[in-house]
């Protein structure tokens, strides 16, 4: 969004239809292809450009490398009334995760809450999409996933964790919902790429170099360096970000029987899979809790409204005119982009054109 690079504007429908056709070309059945496109382009709508159509050709390369099964037999392999493990059969995470989230919601309807760990999956798009599926059911939604190792635990020189996002959505009454959705690192990789293009330095606390020293070079990741967990170094609370990233990895990978830690499969198809994998594919963790599992629904919604209004009206620091509620920026971006279209950088637009040409599809 802060990028200066030239860009083109596409309507939501155009990006959705193109993405759906691409997934169909991979052999994904129509309903799944449509769902996968909806999940993917919801990232572009919400301003999380790194997780939207910019990744579409990456999914195709994974499919070409035989790492995505377009017609998976997704199934429950273990369960109790409020928990389950789902095997995604190497399907698109964009399809497997909503399937698992619907199971969590069904369990919550009956038991109050539902918690589903997922193995044998792939990149699932933005976590927020899946968590927000619970909102229409008056439930709290939770979504997390592990990811390719790019992050070092505190005191580690080795990349052991992914950016491992956590999303939690809480319904309100008259106010829009509270939607937290964040990587458990100080910053996402996308911000480093922007700094590289602009020739700028990164702040301390974002990255370290391959020897484990703090660095301000935004290209450090390509040189064997690593992202730091939320907080940065030990002095600034990096051990807490490490705890968070580790929990996402354990909930998603260890509980389900997926790969975890340094074994998590890479998104880019040119990197080899880890030797001696400890599980199947990538892992996710999805949850739903009935808001009225704790308190009568209207009372709970009114309390959420009170919470949101009080925080939104907090006095600001100099230079800022409002305190945001988690979910505000993405919802505002979505409202604008649904009306005015989605800006796509020239580089990504060119990538989509080439992808279309290679599959004989028109963008």
Q: How far is the CB of 40 from its own copies (least distance, A)?
A: 24
CA distance linking residue 126 with residue 160, whole number of Å = 21
- Looking at the Cβ atoms of 23 and 178, the one nearer to its own copies is 178
**Interface with its own copies (CB under 8 A), residue from 173, 190, 277, 293:** 293
Residue 276 is encoded by which pair of tokens? 């001696």
CA distance linking residue 258 with residue 249, whole number of Å = 10
CA distance linking residue 116 with residue 77, whole number of Å = 11
- Looking at the Cβ atoms of 39 and 230, the one nearer to its own copies is 230
Q: How far is the CB of 22 from its own copies (least distance, A)?
A: 32
CA distance linking residue 309 with residue 176, whole number of Å = 11
Site string for its own copies, 30-59 (x = CB under 8 A): ------------------------------
Q: Which helix (H) or strand (E) holds 115?
A: strand 113-121
- Would you count residue 146 as binding its own copies (CB under 8 A)? no
Region binding its own copies by CB under 8 A among candidate stretches 57-65, 129-137, 179-187, 345-353: 179-187
Closest CA to 265 of 348, 146, 353: 146
- Would you count residue 145 as binding its own copies (CB under 8 A)? no
Structure-derived torsion over alpha carbons of residues 248, 182, 68, 35, reported in degrees to the nearest 10: 120
Number of residues that make up the chain: 363
How many C-beta atoms lie closer than 10 Å to residue 318's C-beta? 4
**Interface with its own copies (CB under 8 A), residue from 85, 121, 146, 333:** 85
Whether residue 306 contacts residue 294, with contact meaning beta carbons closer than 8 Å, is answered with no
- Would you count residue 225 as binding its own copies (CB under 8 A)? no
**Interface with its own copies (CB under 8 A), residue from 247, 274, 297, 359:** 247
- Would you count residue 322 as binding its own copies (CB under 8 A)? yes
Instruction: Considering only residues 159 through 178, tell me which ones interact with its own copies, judged by CB under 8 A.
Output: 160, 168, 170, 178
Q: How far is CA 307 from CA 13, 131, 140, 289, 300, in A?
A: 35, 20, 15, 19, 11
> Site for its own copies (CB under 8 A): how many residues?
90
Q: How far is the CB of 151 from its own copies (least distance, A)?
A: 11
The strand pair at 214-215 and 207-208 is best described as: antiparallel
**Interface with its own copies (CB under 8 A), residue from 88, 153, 218, 356:** 153
- Would you count residue 2 as binding its own copies (CB under 8 A)? no
- Looking at the Cβ atoms of 90 and 152, the one nearer to its own copies is 152
**Interface with its own copies (CB under 8 A), residue from 216, 307, 332, 361:** 307
Query: Strand, coil or helix: what is 25?
Result: helix
Q: How far is the CB of 206 from its own copies (least distance, A)?
A: 8
């Amino acid at each position: 969004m802060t990028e200066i690079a030239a860009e083109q504007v596409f309507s939501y429908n155009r990006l959705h239809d193109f993405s759906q056709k691409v997934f169909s070309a991979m052999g994904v059945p129509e309903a799944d292809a449509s769902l996968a496109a909806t999940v993917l382009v919801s990232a572009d709508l919400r301003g999380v450009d790194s997780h939207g159509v910019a990744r579409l050709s990456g999914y195709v390369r994974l499919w070409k490398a035989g790492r995505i099964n377009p017609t998976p037999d997704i199934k429950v392999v273990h369960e109790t009334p409020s928990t389950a493990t789902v095997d995604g059969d190497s399907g698109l995470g964009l399809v497997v995760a909503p399937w698992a989230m619907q199971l969590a919601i069904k369990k919550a309807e009956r038991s109050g809450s539902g918690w589903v760990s997922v193995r044998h999956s792939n990149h699932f798009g933005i976590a927020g999409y899946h968590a927000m599926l619970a909102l229409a059911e008056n439930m709290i939604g939770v979504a997390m996933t592990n990811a390719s190792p790019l992050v070092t635990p505190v005191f580690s020189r080795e990349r052991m964790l992914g950016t491992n996002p956590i999303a939690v959505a809480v319904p309100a009454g008259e106010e829009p919902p509270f939607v937290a959705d964040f990587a458990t690192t100080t910053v996402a990789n996308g911000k480093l790429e922007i700094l590289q293009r602009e020739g700028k330095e990164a702040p301390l606390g974002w990255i370290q170099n391959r020897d484990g020293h703090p660095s301000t070079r935004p290209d450090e990741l390509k040189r064997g360096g690593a992202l730091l967990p939320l907080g940065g170094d030990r002095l600034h609370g990096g051990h807490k970000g490490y705890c968070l990233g580790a929990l996402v990895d354990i909930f998603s990978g260890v509980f389900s029987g997926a790969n975890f830690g340094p074994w998590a499969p890479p998104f880019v198809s040119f990197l080899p899979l880890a030797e001696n994998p400890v599980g199947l594919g990538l892992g996710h963790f999805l949850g739903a809790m009935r808001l009225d599992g704790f308190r009568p629904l209207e009372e709970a919604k009114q309390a959420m409204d009170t919470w949101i209004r009080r925080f939104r009206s907090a006095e600001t620091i100099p230079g800022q005119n409002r305190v945001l509620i988690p979910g505000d920026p993405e919802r505002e971006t979505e409202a604008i982009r649904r009306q005015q279209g989605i800006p796509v950088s020239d580089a990504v637009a060119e990538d989509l054109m080439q992808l279309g040409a290679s599959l004989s599809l028109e963008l």
